[in-house]
Chains A and B, each alone.
Chain A
Amino acid sequence: MASKTSTTPDTRVSLPGLAIKNPIMTASGTFGYGLEFASFGKLEDLGGIVVKGLSLKPRAGNPMERIAESPCGMLNAIGLQNIGVERFLEEKLPALPHEETAIVANLYACDAAEFGELAQALAADARLAALEVNVSCPNVAAGGQAFGQDPAQAAAVTRAVKDAAGSMPVIVKLSPNVADITMVARAVADAGADMLTCINTLLGMAVDLKTRRPRLANVVGGLSGPAIKPVALRCVWQVSQAVDIPVIGVGGISTAADVLEFILAGAHAVQIGTANFMRPDTVFHIVEELPALMSTYGVTHLDELRGTLQV
């Protein structure tokens, strides 16, 4: 890494068991396995890449239609289509810049035992920097956000993954589709999670007046994009005050200014999701623009800004 001078803001972030060069990561499900975006920027410039959610066996996902556009947002009901952990480790991971960028595996399973098995398989690979546990997907029938809506179940899954993960940091991705997100956050933190990601998508739906049918074959799906940014900010603020472990903010972030807003609200790092669809080089532009914007606000290190929101 280039040496820092007093005029160049320091974007480095230190997370439990994980040091990243900048707070910008990509959100699971919005960046493929990383390689899909390799011609739009340097993957090694990113703080982290959270890959498409992985399951033990490949999954075909839900039937079409799976996506719908809404004002300032989109709905998806992909249903965790993925190539499975084995093919990911063999075919995708070797091509990712794991020495320069934190490659985070997002994992999904149907019960706590399966989560443990999957975590064990992934944690054995030193090219991965961390595991992100998906207890909040609104698009799968078994498990999914049901885990994330019940503090006890979320804690059980967290424990199973922590037990299997060894020294690899474990991040738990929380659902906003609960009455009080801090209850789940506390339960997961008490169960040993190293970090939390706030938030997964909001449950929503879209209807087609012409056909009088839902636009998604799954009827309901997860809402993401700029439309959910206020909800994500609120959750990050609430959760970062409720627990002592770092929070990674995600939800509607599409500019460097959005990143700093999330840091101000208490986030240690952020993930860029739907904005990657708006144009495929978005995340690279945000990485590039962040230092200059920090300078504009007189911020030399993100620690100075984090959680300093005056309420």
Chain B
Amino acid sequence: MSSKKAPTYMRNIKCQELTVLDVVPFGQTLSEVTHCFALRLENPGWERWRPGQFVMVRHPSFGLELIWGRAFSISRMASSGLSLFIQTYGRGTKRLSESLPGEKVTVWGPLGNGFAVQDKRTLMLAGGIGLAPFLAYAEAHPSPNKLELIFGHRLPLETYPFENAKNLVPEMTARSFHEQTPEDLPKFLEMVDEAVQRYADGGLILACGPTPFLRAIKKMAAEHGAMAQLSLENKMGCGVGACLGCVVTDDKGENVQVCSKGPVFWAHKIEL
């Protein structure tokens, strides 16, 4: 009997050991647990992938102690390698930040579904490390002059690859907003709301960032009648749809896996 074929969404996924090429810290801050870094790995040689998809990564030092791989958006894919922008947050990301060039890490991907690519005016809304997938998105887009990026952040701007994004895709419009005090948040949301309104008529809105940020955008999109896709940040056990630890409730009231049915969802199709 012939081998069973994997479902369409799974056929391209591999689990492989990839060599660490380099670890580049971005904007070191006073607190050692709040900096970001780019982890660049050797090219995984995937047949195809889409911006907005993600990978699961394990460092050998996880051993038996850290059970899960860690999920990261694909930030850039070039012949020179696969780049992930990571915020050091817990034990897993800290160990990855200490990776040395030449070490091997275990990676499975590309996972999830990715953002829609449409030849229309597209607004990219990024909160903090939610900026990561938009580098790949902007770089791969057929009409980058139709793209606008609004980036909200709390850590200093140099902590994130914002300048890289602007340099990589100079045709897109990009602006940032530094939220320095809690009073700044309403100003930022006002800026975002104004932008969402501008894209309501025939445009596309994409967002990635913390859940409260996505929740606000979902509400704005509904109010203005805008088409929006949200990339959810969620704790994941397996990354392949098996553990059911990362679910979100969809518009039919069913719990669906963020890892395999998302992480990108149409805003009006999920409850947040």
Chain B 5-17 interface 0/1 with A at a Cβ cutoff of 8 Å (1 = within)? 1110011111100
Chain A 248-284 interface 0/1 with B at a Cβ cutoff of 8 Å (1 = within)? 0000001000000000000000000010111111000
Contact of B244 with A61 in the complex, beta carbons under 8 Å: yes
Complex: chain B residue closest to A60, CB-CB: B255
Contact of B58 with A32 in the complex, beta carbons under 8 Å: no
Contacts of A288 in B (CB 8 A): none
Contacts of A42 in B (CB 8 A): 3-4
Contacts of A279 in B (CB 8 A): 15, 58, 69, 106, 108
7 A-B pairs with the lowest CB-CB distances in the bound complex, closest first:
A67-B245, A32-B242, A38-B6, A39-B6, A226-B64, A277-B238, A36-B242
Contacts of A66 in B (CB 8 A): 244-245, 247
Provide the bound-state CA to CA distance between A136 and B230, in Å: 38
Chain B 90-115 interface 0/1 with A at a Cβ cutoff of 8 Å (1 = within)? 00000000000000001010000000
20 contacts between A and B (CB under 8 A): A29-B243, A32-B241, A35-B7, A39-B12, A58-B254, A60-B255, A61-B247, A61-B255, A67-B246, A72-B64, A78-B245, A81-B247, A254-B64, A277-B238, A278-B62, A278-B68, A279-B69, A279-B106, A280-B15, A280-B238
Contact of A280 with B247 in the complex, beta carbons under 8 Å: no
CB < 8 Å neighbour of B15 from A43, A95, A96, A281: A281
Contacts of B69 in A (CB 8 A): 278-279
Contact of B67 with A277 in the complex, beta carbons under 8 Å: yes
Residue of A31, A37, A52 with most chain B CB atoms under a 10 A cut-off: A37
Complex: chain B residue closest to A79, CB-CB: B244
Chain B 56-69 interface 0/1 with A at a Cβ cutoff of 8 Å (1 = within)? 00100010111111
Contacts of B175 in A (CB 8 A): none
Contact of A31 with B254 in the complex, beta carbons under 8 Å: no
Considering only CB atoms and an 8 Å cut-off, how many residues of chain A contact the other chain?
44
Residue of A73, A100, A254, A279 with most chain B CB atoms under a 10 A cut-off: A279
Knowing A32-B241, A66-B244 touch, does A280 contact B108 (C-beta < 8 A)? yes
Complex: chain B residue closest to A95, CB-CB: B4
Knowing A76-B245, A78-B245 touch, does A32 contact B4 (C-beta < 8 A)? no
> B253 in the interface, Cβ–Cβ < 8 Å?
yes
> A99 in the interface, Cβ–Cβ < 8 Å?
yes
Contacts of A280 in B (CB 8 A): 15, 108, 238-240
Provide the bound-state CA to CA distance between A281 and B58, in Å: 13
Complex: chain A residue closest to B67, CB-CB: A74
Knowing A38-B4, A38-B5, A99-B1 touch, does A81 contact B244 (C-beta < 8 A)? yes
Provide the bound-state CA to CA distance between A42 and B11, in Å: 13
- Interface on B for A, CB 8 Å cutoff? 1, 3-7, 10-15, 58, 62, 64-69, 106, 108, 235, 237-249, 253-255, 260
Residue of A39, A72, A274 with most chain B CB atoms under a 10 A cut-off: A39
- Chain A residues 50 to 87 lying within 8 A of chain B, measured CB to CB, are 52, 58, 60-61, 64-67, 69, 71-74, 76, 78, 81
CB < 8 Å neighbour of A277 from B15, B65, B242: B242
> A222 in the interface, Cβ–Cβ < 8 Å?
no
> A300 in the interface, Cβ–Cβ < 8 Å?
no
Provide the bound-state CA to CA distance between A152 and B54, in Å: 48
Complex: chain A residue closest to B254, CB-CB: A60
Provide the bound-state CA to CA distance between A218 and B240, in Å: 23
- In angstroms, how far is the closest chain A Cβ from the Cβ of B110? 11
CB < 8 Å neighbour of B235 from A43, A67, A97: A67
> A238 in the interface, Cβ–Cβ < 8 Å?
no
- Chain A residues 213 to 227 lying within 8 A of chain B, measured CB to CB, are 225-226
Complex: chain A residue closest to B16, CB-CB: A281
Contacts A61-B247, A74-B67, A99-B1 aside, 10 further interface pairs with beta carbons under 8 A come to A30-B243, A37-B240, A39-B14, A43-B4, A65-B235, A78-B245, A96-B4, A277-B67, A277-B237, A278-B58
Contacts of A278 in B (CB 8 A): 58, 62, 64, 67-69
Contacts of B13 in A (CB 8 A): 39-40
> A150 in the interface, Cβ–Cβ < 8 Å?
no
CB < 8 Å neighbour of A35 from B10, B235, B237: B10
Complex: chain A residue closest to B62, CB-CB: A278
Knowing A32-B241, A81-B244 touch, does A277 contact B68 (C-beta < 8 A)? yes
